[in-house]
Amino acid sequence: MLFDHTKFVVKSQSKTFSSKKSFQILAEDGQALATAEDTTGFLASLFGSTKLEVRDASNQRPLFTVGRSGWLLKKDQVLDAEGQVVGTFKGKMFSLSGGYHVYDKAGKHIAEIQGSMLKADYKFLTPEKKTMGSVSRTWGGLAQSLFTGDDTYGVQVEPQYAEDQTAKIVMLGAALAVESIFKKAKESKESGSSSGGGGE
């Protein structure tokens, strides 16, 4: 069961003849725990929406969903198996280093994502600045044989959150969102700005 673990390896897998990404979520010993598939519809993708469904590897039972929705005002959220909001990600408006804040369904600030997200080296901090978990490509505590390629990284949950399913959904959801939503949005923005004529 995915939520019985506190250390995960996330491996990105590109499909042949498809721009959509899929992911494997493994235990630290290499056991397959879950899969994450991009199920965004064609029309929704044209408007910049993304939907990533995470399912149990053994029985394909839905676990949670990560997505970007909306037309003009985009919402980046992670939902539980029943479709209820677990966390909403909002970019830091006035930070040179970037990052995101995480809010629960009631709008309460529950975490801050701090570090180099696009390099998969960041931490999840509580509002009191205590570490909830971290993401890295260079963990000595996980089997190094699992870390093959730039699209593989580890997610580690701190012991005090070992029984906190919501915290795990938020952290895994954010890690998947970095690869499937935030990074893609940044690349699209940079591509658009570089291809436009004139400029300022």
Could you tell me which residue, 120 or 175, shows the higher pLDDT?
175
User: Within a domain: residue 195?
Assistant: no
Global pTM reads 0.84
Evaluate if residue 195 carries a pLDDT over 50. Answer: no
Instruction: Supply the mean pLDDT for the chain.
Output: 83
Nearest CA to 177 among 62, 70, 90?
90
pLDDT band at 4, cuts 50/70/90? Answer: very high
Task: Give how far the C-alpha of residue 184 lies from the chain's centroid of Cα atoms, to the nearest Å.
Answer: 12
Q: Please tell me what DSSP assigns to residue 84.
A: -
User: Within a domain: residue 55?
Assistant: yes
Q: How many Å apart are CA 84 and CA 185, to the nearest integer?
A: 24
- What CATH number is associated with residue 18? 2.40.160.200
User: Within a domain: residue 31?
Assistant: yes
User: Within a domain: residue 180?
Assistant: yes
What's the structural domain count of the chain? 1
pLDDT tens-digit readout, 109-158: 999 999 888 788 899 999 999 999 999 887 655 555 555 555 788 999 99
Evaluate if residue 84 carries a pLDDT over 90. Answer: yes
Enclosing H/E stretch for 46 = helix 42-46
Whether the CB-CB separation of 101 and 112 falls below 8 Å is answered with: yes
Alpha helices for 144-182 (secondary structure H): 165-177
| CB-based burial label for 200 (10 Å; 0-12, 13-18, 19+) | exposed
The domain in which residue 72 lies consists of 2-190
| Sequence-distant (≥ 6) Cβ neighbours of residue 130 within 8 angstroms | none
Q: How many Å apart are CA 102 and CA 55, to the nearest integer?
A: 23
Evaluate if residue 105 carries a pLDDT over 80. Answer: yes
Evaluate if residue 185 carries a pLDDT over 80. Answer: no
Q: How many Å apart are CA 9 and CA 151, to the nearest integer?
A: 11
